[in-house]
Amino acid sequence: MVELAILDQLRAAQVIPVIRHSDTDIATKAIDLLLEQGIKAVEITTSVADADGLVRRLKARDESLLVGAGTVLDRVQAQAMLDAGSDFIVSPCWVDEVANLVIKADGVYLPGAMTPAEALHHHKAGAALVKIFPADAAGGPGFLRALCAVFPDIPLMPTGGIQPRDVSDYLQAGAVCVGVGGNLMPSQALEAGDLALAQAQICGALRDMPRPQ
């Protein structure tokens, strides 16, 4: 089953960098640096110019790389990302038209939730995994641990405001995997054209985080 296979890959990846930058070239350079460090999965948000094209190029380059589409807010975006080969579709909240399209296509939908009621709704409505968003503002690892205690059968992926040093705490609290965005993205260094600094920043951020096996 595709859904279970993707969940297994997300669990194995542990860390899911969320790529959010308007410049496709900057986003691509960041992804290249992350892949050099052993990252096995990425989420490309629709805020990246030509996001579906970037997904298509990444999948053509390495079919084993898990590539998701993030901040998908409508049916048009969802269809474009599915057509590009996205392995999973992520929204910041439950979006009916996205959910209906992705689930009907036997795709893997990861909608965001901030409350126990939302998490339960999304799971019962067919979400493959529920994104707890924004995780830091919602209560951090302690909040996630509480959710896992009452919903042990709901796969959860905290995302939003997470510092690299806190990834292990989220995994120990019960997360299937952890999405890390701006705190892992060396935007300023890449915008300045300083690849060495960007690489050093990524290596520093990843140093204390779990590494894919």
Mind telling me the catalytic residues?
Answer: 43, 131
Sheet hosting strand 109-113, strand order edge to edge: 156-158, 130-132, 109-113, 88-91, 66-70, 41-45, 15-19, 178-180
Q: Is 145 exposed, middle or buried (0-12, 13-18, 19+ CB in 10 A)?
A: middle
Answer whether 178's CB lies under 8 Å from 158's CB: yes
Residue 167 tokens read as 């990834």
Separation of alpha carbons 56 and 212, rounded Å: 23
Answer whether 18's CB lies under 8 Å from 180's CB: yes
DSSP state of 211: -
- Please provide the distance, in angstroms rounded to a whole number, between the alpha carbons at the two ends of the chain: 22
Q: Alpha carbon of 168 to those of 68, 98, 127, 193: distances in Å? A: 22, 31, 24, 31
